[in-house]
Amino acid sequence: MDRNRKRVPGFAAVLLILLSHMTSALEVPLDLPQPPTITLQSPKDYIFDPRENIVIHCEAKGKPHPSFLWTRNGTHFEVEKDSKVLMKPGSGTLVIDISGEKAEAYEGTYQCTAHNEHGTAVSNSIVIRQSRSPLWSKERNEAIAVQIGGSLVLKCRPPAGLPPPVIFWMDNNFQRLPLDQRVSQALNGDLYFSNVLPEDTRSDYICYARFPHTQTIQQKQPISVTVLDNSPDGERRPRFMMPQGTTSTKMVLRGETLELECIADGLPTPEISWQKDGGELPSSRMSFYNFKKTLKVSDVNEADGGDYRCTATNNLGTVHHIIQVTVKAAPFWVSAPRNLILAPNETGILTCRVDGKPKPLITWLVNGVSLQNAPEDHTRKVDDDTVILSNVQSGSSAVYQCNASNEFGYLMANAFVNVLAEPPRVLTPPNRVYQVITNRPALLHCASFGSPIPAITWFKDSQTSVKNGDPYVIHDNGTLEINVAQPINSGKYTCIATNNFGIKENHMYLEVKEPTRILKQPEYKVVQRGMSAVFECRVKHDPSLIPTMTWLKDNRELPDGRFEVNMESLTIKDVTEEDEGTYTCIMNTTLDQDSASAMLTVVEATPPPAIVYEKPDPPTDLELTDQTERSVHLTWIPGDEHNSPTEKFLIQYEDLLHQPGVWINLTEASGTSTTAQLNLSPYVYYSFRVLALNHVGYSQPSQPSSQYRTNPAAPDENPSDVQCLGTMPGDLAISWTPLTGFQANGPSLEYKVLWRQKDTGEDWSSQNVGNASQFVVSGGPVYVPYEVMVQALNDYGSGPEPEVVIGHSGGDLPLSAPDSVQIMVHNSTLAEVHWEPVSFPSVRGKLEGYKVYYRRESGLHETEEDAEQRERVLTFSGNRSEGRLPGLQPYSTYNLTIRVLNNKGEGPPSPSKTFKTPEGVPGPPSFLNAINPSLDTLTLQWGPPTNNNGRLAGYTLKYQPVNNTNELGPVKVMTFLANETTITLGNLNSSMLYKFYLSAKTIKGSGPIITEEAFTVMDTTVANRQVDIATQGWFIGLMCAIALLILVLLIVCFIKRNKGGKYPVKEKEDAHQDPEIQPMKEDDGTFGEYSDTEDHKPLKGSRTPSNGTVRRDESDDSLVDYGEGGDGQFNEDGSFIGQYSGKKEKDTHEGNESSEAPSPVNAMNSFV
């Protein structure tokens, strides 16, 4: 291996190395050498006023200060040779004096370069154009005559100015023409009349164009309009005047404002509404203009593309127009390149992340020269939007330019690479004092500079090192943040900046202040007029902060006069009704504030007499006038209001033709009105009535008006809730909500049902049906999309153009099964299945998912009769191609098929696939019994596991003794072959409890264990020696003393009972429980380790805990079952050789078959 060869880090490693250089807003102090940076430049598109000088800005900084050069239209611009052009000293800004010159001579594309010995920065290309306000072309406007009610467009056609002019219409008196919902001005300046009225007749419709840069106004020749009434146009449905047709397109750039416009004619005047198909209008960026005829969406983004539907509606019908909006994007920054400051031999990266639509093309330049034409640099690597500079050296500083462009514009940015070797310097002023309120965040700044970039460390009180972690956060820029400042955080802080060339420190101080709090808030006051009102506001604040108390009334300053402000109170003298309101005290310090408010209510000293309020009387004298086909004028006389003003009138109607006796709300009128214009529907026999409402309630209805009948007409609307879905294979059931008799507008209502297959280009099929709500198309293809329309008809014509509804014909069971079924077995209980989804046409319905059927045919060690035959099913929703099969049986053979599922059912199964699961660990042995105990032997029998889960390799037996203190003895381990199921253990201790653990094993390991416990037979010679204790004299004396003591206690209790004293039986029972069920204590020689309660069962497989209790984990056998009776026995030294004590409910003499005499120790225990 070549020891001298250096490793070149990969691209990913380079990115990690460069993270420290990607900090934002890294500034080089101006006293250090640095390449130029452009700080000010003119906009890319500069339109100048020919009456003023042209000023093209170009300012830059650098060390040494840069010099400036200009190009015009791609060639060098010799500024010094043009006497009209002046470059400002120390700057690249050009001032061009165009007085007395042709301004057009200086139009063009300018670009500025700023250069010093470390590099060259380049400005944007600045297009300079002269503003223009051309005269209107001479034209002769013919007088216009239009019939009353007709539509009209007056063309403006302004001259093309730079920038475009502002258009408005005025008359000869320079008064703007009124615009409303009927008369509107389009975005192009044309004037639209949805319908004309007699008052539109005039001879001075004048279009004006105002040019903003020159502040000049140009005027079009007046247009004369005469409205004729000899053949008036009747009422008509809406029709779009602009844009025309049913659809149009619009392209807008990202970030600009989208302007959509719809203007319609019609009589009555149509109303315009907007919606976005398949989405919501962006309400936060959307606004309407020109009486909702213009929709503007600001700051457009990609999500704003789509179909916008404008709808024009009057009482005769509705018309729609769809504007298809496409959003493109000029290049925009995702991440602009940033300046790099590198030390010699360091590596750095420049990134130029941009986006746009279409995708921008990125090109790199260095010092204003394309990289292809720049001198070759082996340390530089370019990868699309990234430039990597490796092992930079002193003197290699430069300015890189990134240019991103597409057909809609370009972006250009300068980023310098400055190679410096500088010791650290701290830019934050020293000894700064930071003050913050308790529980608020504190930020201590340590702005630094150096090359390499210095590492920042912090110390508190010059001793304690501050590390990242609660409560401190050290940011990448060196700022120390304390999330929740506390008084303990006050003190002196030191930040230290270090790099290879030195160290620099800075000191600052943090003071954590107490928060300002209002202790007593002002309270709600009810004060009689002429009295005084006092609001208190007591405050606590940090004593080192200067407080300022301010009082406000209704969030405004207090009025002058009767207000007296003290440090902790506000007094209002001689209050009047004008003093009512909300009063707020605000305590301000230099760091925080607190506020509280209260209301003041002023009342009369003596309340006036109560006023009686009642419902109003019903209106009277209803009269119908101005009767037309679709409207009528209703007037009435209001009734008595009874001291409560009328808030509104409710107008109802009764349809005597379709719904006699039913009154329906029609409209409302204000409480001051006595008339209303009512919009009517055709083919209705109207009768009207009016109700008045005040704050008490509604009046009784007025008497009905005279009857008014409207003539029949074609339907104004089509049926709603049109749906189409398949019921049987190939059938298409079309349903809708029928029109009511009121909506029919005329007799003989029926429906025209139209349908055709979607996207096939075939003609519409149609069928007229009577006044029904459903129609079924039969015999079509299975589950294909259809377009459906339902239109209302009557004897007087058809309804409006219906909307298209999409649905599917009836489906059927799927035709095909999934292909390419593959199974991957992950382990003994989990497999993964993959398949090729079926084709969409073969689904013949709505795809709901796939069903996987799998059955365990047999275990690899079982016969066919032993195998579990139950089939299992898993359903995977959606268009899936894989799924997991959990819970498999190890060492088994499975059979698997897959079916596709739609809303009709399941398709045919896939070809059967067989797979096998590997071996696993076996289950526990089926049983473990201990038999034939003797003094030193026990025989164990066991059965094989129910589930081998593989080839059984054998068994592992572990056993250990349990002594009389429940401590476990040493473990012995034995192994057996798979065909061995019994063993006789020898050399055991007599009268000893043994615990056994048995597990089966395969090649995959051992399975779960089962346990058993058993005693060896007791040595009777030891028990006989125990009987001799009862013959000892000391023992007989002890028993007598105990008996005498109990007798004395009984006599005392009897005497106290006879004297009326109360004997606390329960407390005595608690204090002296039955010794058969009390755990014995270690200190008195009795046994507390075994108990029959749930929480203190005998030990099963673990050592005795430190508290002496033993839990029984794995066996439900009672320990009493191991003994021959309920009495424990002791030998001469008091050690336990007998059995565990019995359960509480068992008789102490039950089950003792031994011929031995009872132990005297047991007799002693009964007295404890």
Per DSSP, helices labelled H in 868-932 are none
CA–CA distance, 204 with 536 (Å, rounded to integer): 69
Nearest to 803 by CA among 791, 816, 815, 817: 791
pLDDT tier, 1009 (very low <50, low <70, confident <90, very high otherwise): very high
pLDDT at 1147 (0 to 100): 38
Nearest to 56 by CA among 48, 64, 356, 1137: 48
pLDDT at 725 (0 to 100): 84
Nearest to 820 by CA among 881, 773, 735, 879: 881
Structure tokens at 512: 């954590």
Nearest to 1053 by CA among 1037, 1072, 1028, 1027: 1072
pLDDT at 1096 (0 to 100): 38
Q: Tell me how crowded residue 495 is: count the other CB atoms within 10 A of its CB.
A: 25
DSSP tag of 1018: P
Nearest to 215 by CA among 161, 178, 174, 175: 161
Q: Parallel, antiparallel, or unpaired: how do β-strands 480-482 and 45-48 relate?
A: unpaired
Residue 1113 has φ and ψ, to the nearest 5°, of: -95, -40
Structure tokens at 546: 């200067």
Check if the beta carbon of residue 450 is closer than 8 Å to that of residue 422. Answer: yes
SS3 content of the chain, % helix, strand, coil (to 5): 10, 45, 45
pLDDT at 38 (0 to 100): 95
For residue 909, give the 3-state DSSP assignment: coil
CA–CA distance, 499 with 394 (Å, rounded to integer): 18
pLDDT at 1157 (0 to 100): 38
Q: What percent of the chain has pLDDT over 90?
A: 52
pLDDT at 482 (0 to 100): 92
CA–CA distance, 56 with 110 (Å, rounded to integer): 9
Q: Which residue has the tokens 């909300």?
A: 582
- Tell me the sheet residues that pair with 780: none
Peptide bond into 1079 cis (omega under 30): no
Per DSSP, helices labelled H in 1028-1139 are 1033-1058, 1065-1071
Phi-psi region of 911 (alpha: psi -120 to 50; beta: other; left: phi over 0): beta
Angle value at C-alpha 64, between 109 and 61, nearest 5 degrees: 50
Peptide bond into 268 cis (omega under 30): yes
What's CA 328's distance to the chain center, in Å? Answer: 27
DSSP tag of 438: T
pLDDT tier, 367 (very low <50, low <70, confident <90, very high otherwise): very high
pLDDT at 26 (0 to 100): 66
Across 876-892, average pLDDT: 89
Q: Which residue has the tokens 């007295």?
A: 1167
Check if the beta carbon of residue 63 is closer than 8 Å to that of residue 41. Answer: no
Nearest to 312 by CA among 280, 267, 279: 267
Check if the beta carbon of residue 623 is closer than 8 Å to that of residue 613. Answer: no
More confident residue, 870 or 479: 479
Q: What is the pLDDT of residues 557-605, one digit of tens each?
A: 998 888 998 888 999 999 998 999 999 999 999 999 999 999 999 998 7
Q: What is the pLDDT of residues 802-827, one digit of tens each?
A: 999 998 888 888 988 999 899 999 88
For residue 1038, give the 3-state DSSP assignment: helix
The answer to whether residue 115 scores a pLDDT higher than 80 is yes
Check if the beta carbon of residue 332 is closer than 8 Å to that of residue 254. Answer: yes
pLDDT at 466 (0 to 100): 86
User: In Å, how far are 269, 679, 716 from 708, measured between CA atoms?
Assistant: 24, 13, 20
Sign of CA dihedral 944, 949, 951, 952: negative
pLDDT at 1101 (0 to 100): 39
The answer to whether residue 869 scores a pLDDT higher than 90 is no
Structure tokens at 575: 């209050």
Sign of CA dihedral 981, 987, 991, 996: negative
Burial letters 725-747, b for 16+ CB under 10 A, else e = ebeebbbbbbbbebbebebbbbe
pLDDT at 355 (0 to 100): 95
Across 621-646, average pLDDT: 89
pLDDT at 51 (0 to 100): 83
Q: What is the CA radius of gyration of the chain?
A: 50
* Weakest-pLDDT range from 482-486, 756-760, 963-967: 963-967
Residues 6+ apart with CB under 8 A from 728: 778, 810
Burial letters 457-469, b for 16+ CB under 10 A, else e = bbbbeeeeebeee
* Weakest-pLDDT range from 232-246, 534-548, 727-741, 1118-1132: 1118-1132
Nearest to 163 by CA among 203, 121, 212, 199: 212
pLDDT at 853 (0 to 100): 93
For residue 1068, give the 3-state DSSP assignment: helix
Per DSSP, helices labelled H in 122-217 are none
Nearest to 422 by CA among 341, 340, 507: 341
Across 538-548, average pLDDT: 90
Query: What distance, in Å, lies between the first and last C-alpha atoms of the chain?
Result: 88
pLDDT at 870 (0 to 100): 72
What's CA 696's distance to the chain center, in Å? Answer: 47
Nearest to 915 by CA among 898, 944, 892, 943: 892
DSSP tag of 44: S
pLDDT tier, 1019 (very low <50, low <70, confident <90, very high otherwise): low
pLDDT tier, 978 (very low <50, low <70, confident <90, very high otherwise): confident
More confident residue, 887 or 1098: 887
pLDDT at 424 (0 to 100): 93
Q: What is the pLDDT of residues 28-58, one digit of tens each?
A: 888 889 999 999 999 999 998 888 889 999 9
User: In Å, how far are 146, 237, 396, 1143 from 231, measured between CA atoms?
Assistant: 10, 18, 87, 116
pLDDT at 138 (0 to 100): 79
pLDDT at 1137 (0 to 100): 33
pLDDT at 1145 (0 to 100): 36
Q: Which of 125-139, 993-1007, 1089-1103 has the highest mean pLDDT?
A: 993-1007
Check if the beta carbon of residue 534 is closer than 8 Å to that of residue 569. Answer: yes
pLDDT at 142 (0 to 100): 87
Residues 6+ apart with CB under 8 A from 667: 651, 676, 678, 679
pLDDT at 327 (0 to 100): 96
What's CA 60's distance to the chain center, in Å? Answer: 45
Across 318-324, average pLDDT: 96
Check if the beta carbon of residue 823 is closer than 8 Å to that of residue 896. Answer: yes
pLDDT tier, 606 (very low <50, low <70, confident <90, very high otherwise): low
CA–CA distance, 1149 with 1142 (Å, rounded to integer): 10
pLDDT tier, 418 (very low <50, low <70, confident <90, very high otherwise): very high
Q: Tell me how crowded residue 476 is: count the other CB atoms within 10 A of its CB.
A: 12
The answer to whether residue 436 scores a pLDDT higher than 50 is yes
pLDDT at 330 (0 to 100): 95
Residue 185 has φ and ψ, to the nearest 5°, of: -105, 125
CA–CA distance, 404 with 1166 (Å, rounded to integer): 101
pLDDT at 1128 (0 to 100): 41
Q: What is the pLDDT of residues 905-920, one digit of tens each?
A: 898 999 998 999 999 8
CA–CA distance, 1099 with 995 (Å, rounded to integer): 10
CA–CA distance, 675 with 679 (Å, rounded to integer): 13
For residue 1163, give the 3-state DSSP assignment: helix
pLDDT tier, 1129 (very low <50, low <70, confident <90, very high otherwise): very low
Check if the beta carbon of residue 556 is closer than 8 Å to that of residue 479. Answer: no
Q: Tell me how crowded residue 1154 is: count the other CB atoms within 10 A of its CB.
A: 14
For residue 981, give the 3-state DSSP assignment: coil
CA–CA distance, 396 with 413 (Å, rounded to integer): 20
Check if the beta carbon of residue 629 is closer than 8 Å to that of residue 235. Answer: yes
pLDDT tier, 860 (very low <50, low <70, confident <90, very high otherwise): low
pLDDT tier, 767 (very low <50, low <70, confident <90, very high otherwise): confident
User: In Å, how far are 285, 418, 509, 660 from 456, measured between CA atoms?
Assistant: 44, 22, 17, 89
Nearest to 885 by CA among 917, 909, 858: 917
Instruction: Transcribe 366-410 into DSSP letters.
Output: ETTEETTTSPP-TTEEEETTEEEE-S--TT--EEEEEEEEETTEE
pLDDT at 103 (0 to 100): 82
Structure tokens at 1105: 């805990």
Check if the beta carbon of residue 242 is closer than 8 Å to that of residue 312. Answer: no
Q: What is the mean pLDDT of the chain?
A: 83
